[in-house]
Chain A
Amino acid sequence: MEQDKHDIKPAVSARRRLIRGAFAAPTVLTLYSGGAMAANSSALRCVVNQNNVPVSPVPLVSTTNSTYFRVQLHAVSTSPAVLYVRGDSLPAARIGTLPTNSQAQVFSITSNTFTAAPVATPANLAAQNQWAVLRVDSTGNVVGVGASGSGGSAIFQSCWTSFVAG
């Protein structure tokens, strides 16, 4: 169902505060909450906690917005059923047998795992509206995609945000 009305109007209008003839880059600055700071003894605490109590089971591929730390899947238009994880879509902080930046790896949305070894990134890979969760170890490295790889835990985007912000 489409949402046509959203009752979030503050008493002051942001539009009225815009200056004619100028439009700065929109900014969004996330505040580090005092509660989180009190609970965290280190920037990695959120990730460590998540690995101590892993999200289980790891969700299958999502086609909608989710709150999981995730990677977008890609496909060649002539073979849309064959989905790839691009190495250059993965964060630099990664360990294990994951594709390098010049590689891609076939990912099954049925088994939620890689189904072949990494290959050179095929030409004309296009992003699909499908996403696979990433698993992160307690030091913040990506160690797997979906159920592939070993160790780590799927974490929520808010946890990852806290981690990188810390």
Chain B
Amino acid sequence: MPTRYVPAPGLLIEALGDGWAAFSPLSGETMLLNDESAAIIELLSERPQDHSSLCMALSADTGLEPHELGARIDDAWPKLLEGGLIVALAAS
């Protein structure tokens, strides 16, 4: 079963100018995000998503094909995980 992700518990995120400010209790860090990163977290906050379902959802938002988004989303997972912004759900 593909890994699904959700926002980290206690994550705080607020719009800040053209971007977003986020604080993660997991990493203890405050981070600046662009709209794309914030949109990923917003989608994950609605329901847990794996890579494919997230690409589909963002495809609907952007009008781009899911495969066009795939590589960029692939690159985003490590950044979001290392920042403590999201966590992977255990397989059930």
Contact = CB atoms under 8 A, between A and B. Distances in A.
Interface of A: 2-15, 17-31, 33, 65, 67, 157-158, 161
Interface string B80-91: 111101011100
A28 to B, nearest CB: 4
Interface in B49-89: 58, 61-64, 68-69, 72-73, 75-76, 79-83, 85, 87-89
B29 A30 contact: yes
A28 B47 CA distance: 21
Contacts of A8: 7, 11-13, 41, 45
Q: Main secondary structure on chain A at its contact with chain B?
A: loop
Contacts of B58: 18, 23
Given A11-B15, A15-B42, A4 B64 contact: no
Interface size class of B (residues with CB under 8 A): 35 or more
A161 B26 CA distance: 13
Contact of A26 (B14, B40, B64): B40
B71 to A, nearest CB: 9
Contacts of B14: 10
Contacts of B38: 14, 17
A7 B31 CA distance: 19
Contacts of A14: 15, 20, 35, 38-39, 41-42
13 contacts: A2-B92, A4-B48, A10-B13, A10-B20, A15-B43, A15-B61, A27-B33, A28-B85, A29-B32, A33-B29, A33-B30, A65-B88, A161-B82
B61 A26 contact: no
A5 B11 CA distance: 13
A68 to B, nearest CB: 13
Nearest to B12: A8
Given A6-B44, A22-B64, A26-B36, 17 more contacts: A2-B92, A6-B9, A8-B11, A10-B13, A10-B14, A10-B15, A14-B38, A14-B39, A15-B42, A17-B38, A21-B63, A24-B72, A27-B37, A65-B81, A65-B87, A161-B29, A161-B82
